[in-house]
Amino acid sequence: MDKRKMDVCVISDIHLGTFGCNAKEVLNYLRSVHPGTLILNGDIIDIWQFSKRFFPASHMAVIKEIFNMASKGTKVVYITGNHDEALRKYADFEMGNIQLTDKIVFEINGEKNWVFHGDVFDRTTKGSAKILAKLGGYGYDLLILLNSLFNCVLKLMGKEKLSLSKKVKNSVKQAVSFIDNFEQTAAELAIEKGYQYVICGHIHQPQHKVVSTEKGAVTYLNSGDWIENLTSLEYYEKSWHLYQYDAKQFEHVSKDKIRVVHLNNELSVLTDAVAFQLSI
């Protein structure tokens, strides 16, 4: 597969080290692109839930591929998020083509882009509420695991996959309101600062829209996540594009073999994962 060239690629919320992470899909994607700059916008390694009992080779392969991209000329900017906040004490560290920071502002095609993870707007990640947030992270991870098992059954029945967590989030008015407030707050701050684009992650909700207020307008972008949505942001041909992963583009064996191998792998990981979650 020929690598797609682009000026900037933004990817966030991979959550390496968790059972919900789609590391193989992330690896497929990274190997298919050749960006001038790769921005990792937070929650790449999930330090909150990190355990040396679970860090598969596929997760390590993602890290190796990122270093490989940097060695071949891609500038890698790692922006810290709440799940990898332990790295914030090393902010502004640079080594070769790799930079670690909390936020970044850059200009491209005469327009200013403001990029940060977005947890600064989330009170549940601060203070005593952080304990509940971490416990919620384990619960979310377990829900993703159960969802994967559920989807395995649906696949065998020839039915479409279903996202339980999306249904829960979309049905809870408070969650929908939080997302709306998050996007509005980020947009208003960007307008006040005179930026044309504001780019976040954190809420696992891919988005590309223009937000207008009485003070002006800004394009709000969110790179989504690689737990459920499998999305990223790409800048090429002088504009931003929201990318959606398509497994069909990465098929290298027959569909029947993929189905069997994928199902066996999922069941194996699910068995280990459920056992680990129950032991916590």
Say whether pLDDT at 267 is over 90. Answer: no
Q: What gap in Å lies between CA 194 and CA 114, rounded to an integer?
A: 10
Over residues 25-38, mean pLDDT: 98
CB 117 within 8 A of CB 83: no
Give the domains, in start order, of the chain with CATH numbers. Answer: 4-279 (3.60.21.10)
Q: What is the pLDDT of residue 159?
A: 75
Q: What is the pLDDT of residue 110?
A: 96
Lowest mean pLDDT among 51-55, 61-65, 169-173: 169-173
Please report, rounded to a whole number, the percentage of residues in the chain having pLDDT higher than 90. Answer: 59
Confidence of residue 271 (pLDDT cuts 50, 70, 90): very low
Q: Which residue has the higher pLDDT, 276 or 54?
A: 54
Say whether pLDDT at 51 is over 80. Answer: no
Say whether pLDDT at 171 is over 70. Answer: no
Contacts of residue 235, Cβ cutoff 8 Å, sequence gap at least 6: 6, 7, 8, 9, 108, 241
Q: What gap in Å lies between CA 62 and CA 22, rounded to an integer?
A: 10
Q: What is the pLDDT of residue 192?
A: 96
Q: Which residue has the higher pLDDT, 53 or 56?
A: 56
pLDDT digits (tens, 9 = 90+) for 94-134: 999 999 999 999 999 999 999 999 988 765 555 544 454 45
Q: Which residue has the higher pLDDT, 87 or 48?
A: 87
Confidence of residue 235 (pLDDT cuts 50, 70, 90): very high
Say whether pLDDT at 135 is over 50. Answer: no
Question: Contacts by 207-211 with C-beta closer than 8 Å and gap 24+?
Answer: 207/183, 207/242, 208/233, 208/240, 208/241, 208/242, 209/183, 211/183, 211/184, 211/187
Two tokens, residue 259? 């189905």
Distance of CA 204 to the CA centre of its chain: 7
Average pLDDT over the chain, rounded to whole? Answer: 81
Quote the strand ranges of 62-134, DSSP E. Answer: 75-79, 93-95, 98-101, 103-108, 111-116
Say whether pLDDT at 229 is over 70. Answer: yes
Q: What is the pLDDT of residue 254?
A: 39
Confidence of residue 144 (pLDDT cuts 50, 70, 90): low
Over residues 143-158, mean pLDDT: 66
Q: What is the pLDDT of residue 138?
A: 55
Over residues 39-44, mean pLDDT: 96
pLDDT digits (tens, 9 = 90+) for 182-218: 999 999 999 999 999 999 999 999 999 999 999 999 9
* 3-state DSSP assignment of residue 194: coil
